[in-house]
């Protein structure tokens, strides 16, 4: 994601019932968010290596997503698309969509990007500036939470329809040393999907984007672009988090507006979508591992995954 704030505010794995570790889940607790399972999904992605578009790791991880999701729902779509990077190079992407309660008219959209950044261009060591990022937090954490949510939804059907959208080509934006100006070089998969949804005329009540939701000590403010487009959705989600006793993660203060996938979903698809993202202006913005070689599995905290996952699943469950 683009870790630059906007200069202006826009006004307008296992079968169902099995955890990722292969343990049989039984009883009512099986339908509730399991932080250990979510962590296992993050770990599995990292084991493929950096999921940089055009690499074998990227292709293998995409296949694993599809196979895993199809154990929980037959309604899985792979949306292949072409795009161009900020420097003109051609890119091939895959957005992956898994739907639950597919026949329901009223729907909720849950999304995260699954690719990892090809450049560790904010690493303190310049030697790493053209090396790929592992993306344990920036990419895999949000997807890990959504895969665990998907597992839970497969065991207890939601009252509304839910679409889980794994977005590709999010993090191939301009290199920090690039001399051009390419803000829209970010979120290429979101831009494509928002203009070409997997179902023509697709609508959802609202959307929730997860980005960098696994770091220890994460803080999720009311992100500025979300507040501009979708303040009611922010209020809904933050109220649920507060009711779960998770206010130490979900802060009652607004942040700078950010460019992320939700911007394009709001702008082009017209779906009110918010971003749950770790950002704190007081510490300089994003986590210290952001776009560095240090974005590795050891940065992932199960408690943070649990806080986000419980909140998202509770929001879904309360919709009727």
List, for residues 245-258, the tens digit of each pLDDT value: 999 999 999 999 99
Compute the distance between CA of residue 211 and CA of residue 209 in angstroms, rounded to an integer: 7
| Confidence bin at 27 (pLDDT 50/70/90) | low
Evaluate if residue 260 carries a pLDDT over 80.
yes
Q: Residue 272: how many CA atoms within 13 Å on its side-chain side?
A: 15
In CATH, what number is assigned to the domain containing residue 58? 3.40.630.10
Please give the mean pLDDT across all residues of the chain.
92
Residue 320, Cβ neighbours under 10 Å: how many?
7
142 inside domain:
yes
- The β-bridge partners of 80 are 94
Residue 5 forms part of a structural domain = no
On whether residue 7 sits in a domain, the answer given is no
Q: Which domain holds residue 25?
A: 18-174+181-318
Assess whether pLDDT exceeds 90 at residue 16.
Answer: no
**Residue 6 within any structural domain of the chain:** no
Inside any domain, residue 202: yes
Look at residue 61 and tell me if it is in a domain: yes
Q: How far apart are CA 6 and CA 191, in angstroms?
A: 17
Over residues 8-36, the mean pLDDT reads 53
pLDDT band at 218 (very low <50, low <70, confident <90, very high): very high
**DSSP characters over 200-252:** TT---SEEEEEES--BTT--EEE-HHHHHH-HHHHHHHHHHHHHTT-TTTEEE
**What percentage of the chain reaches a pLDDT higher than 90?**
88
Neighbours of 289 (CB within 10 A): 23
CA distance 283 to 292: 16
Look at residues 151, 140, 179, 196 and name the one whose alpha carbon lies nearest to residue 30. 151
Q: How many domains does the chain have?
A: 1
**What average pLDDT does this structure show over 191-197?**
98
Q: How far is CA 169 from its chain centroid?
A: 12
Q: Is residue 149 part of a domain?
A: yes
Residue 40 forms part of a structural domain? yes
Instruction: Tell me what pLDDT residue 133 has.
Output: 98
- pLDDT beyond 50 at 15: no
- CA 313 to CA 164: how far, in whole Å? 12
Residue 18 has pLDDT above 80, yes or no: no
């Amino acid at each position: 994601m683009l870790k630059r704030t906007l200069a202006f505010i826009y006004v307008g794995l296992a079968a169902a019932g099995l955890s990722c570790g292969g343990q049989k889940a039984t009883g009512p607790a099986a339908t509730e968010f399991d932080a250990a399972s979510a962590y296992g999904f993050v770990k599995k992605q990292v084991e493929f290596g950096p999921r940089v578009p055009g690499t074998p790791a990227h292709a293998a991880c995409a296949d694993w997503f599809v196979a895993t999701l199809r154990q929980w729902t037959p309604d899985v779509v792979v949306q292949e698309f072409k795009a161009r990077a900020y420097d003109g190079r051609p890119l091939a992407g895959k957005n992956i969509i898994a739907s639950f309660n597919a026949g329901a008219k009223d729907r909720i959209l849950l999304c995260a990007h699954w690719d990892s950044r090809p450049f560790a261009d904010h690493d303190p060591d310049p030697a790493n500036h053209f090396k790929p990022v592992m993306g344990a937090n920036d990419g895999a954490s949000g997807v890990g939470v959504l895969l665990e949510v998907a597992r839970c939804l497969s065991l207890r059907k939601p009252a509304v329809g839910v679409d889980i959208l794994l977005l590709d080509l999010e993090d191939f934006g301009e290199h920090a040393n690039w001399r051009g100006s390419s803000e829209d070089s970010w979120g290429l998969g979101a831009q494509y999907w928002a203009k070409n949804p997997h179902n023509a005329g697709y609508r959802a009540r609202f959307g929730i984007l997860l980005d960098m939701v696994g770091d220890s000590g994460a803080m999720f403010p009311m992100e500025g672009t979300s507040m501009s487009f979708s303040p009611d959705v922010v209020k809904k989600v933050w109220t649920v988090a507060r009711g779960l006793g998770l206010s130490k993660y979900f802060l009652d203060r607004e942040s700078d507006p950010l460019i992320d996938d939700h911007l394009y979903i709001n702008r082009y698809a017209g779906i009110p979508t918010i971003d749950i993202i770790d950002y704190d202006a007081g510490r300089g913005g994003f986590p210290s591992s952001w776009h560095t070689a240090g974005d590795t599995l050891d940065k992932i905290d199960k408690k943070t995954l649990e806080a986000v996952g419980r909140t998202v699943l509770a929001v879904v469950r309360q919709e009727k």
